[in-house]
Structure 1
């Protein structure tokens, strides 16, 4: 996997297309996670650590592979956001439950610093729509993450 991702930067014009299917999907998902973390202009150390843990666990990667994937995602996402390119690939390749799982991963990243920035909330709404994840399932994923992280969940907590 590492060599295939390194080749991505030797052939930037081919970007995601230069990778085999699973690597392409892993990179697209990691790019969305990095975009979510970067929306408030910085990737906090706890957000990056969360991204590393999520991709390592979800994609069954070694620590080195996870680091390489996240570093590659950070490089790919420099400049203008490319949400549509990443989400369209994932929508076509992930089943519905996998897409809901990705939304849950995104919630974990945006809440890694303990607060939700309005741009992060907007991203989750847009990505949820692009992945064809219902508002209800997106909200349920958010509540699961908040409960897991020990954040207040309930009627007094507004939905983004």
Structure 2
């Protein structure tokens, strides 16, 4: 599932890591992951490690380049007043499957410290709405990230 996102993001033209802006998809994704990580007011080491791992695997970043993107994401997130600057980049640069995978990454951050918070849940919900990820897909990804077994399996009747 994440392989397509990784392939796409690795295929983006390399940009200077100095002077990275919120219009860079790597920075936009980093800012969204940082925002969900900080939503509950507690930034745990587990969340930070999960965020860095997600950026590293998704973009093929390492070392100083990874740190530059994280710093640019932190700066962009601190300067933003809403999600539009980031979600507009995501909508412009990522296809539907890649946007789904971004929400899956956000859920990984939410559950990384073992104690999901309603504010983190709300951030994922709002971002999902802004990038066109349907409720059902968002909830399925949440269940998968939480490690719980879904109540209805594929093929079960849902009356839809």
**Class of the TM-score when normalised by the shorter of the 2 chains:** 0.7 to 0.9
- Structure 1 pair 99/2, CA: closer, same or farther in 2 (3 Å)? closer
Q: Which runs of 5+ in 1 are unaligned?
A: 9-14, 18-23, 156-160
Q: Which runs of 5+ in 2 are unaligned?
A: 1-12, 152-160
Q: TM-score, normalised by structure 1?
A: 0.78
Who is 1:30 aligned against? 30
1: distance between equivalents of 2:82 and 2:149?
31
CA contact (8 A) 1:2 1:68 kept: no
Q: How many residues align?
A: 139
1: distance between equivalents of 2:140 and 2:91?
19
CA contact (8 A) 2:35 2:77 kept: yes
Higher relative contact order (CA 8 A, sep 6+): 2
Q: TM-score, normalised by structure 2?
A: 0.78
Measured after TM superposition, the shift of residue 78 of structure 1 is 1.6
- RMSD of aligned Cα (Å): 2.1
2: distance between equivalents of 1:130 and 1:89?
11
- Give deviations 1:38-81, integer Å, cap 9, x for gaps: 11123211111110000100111123322221122112212554
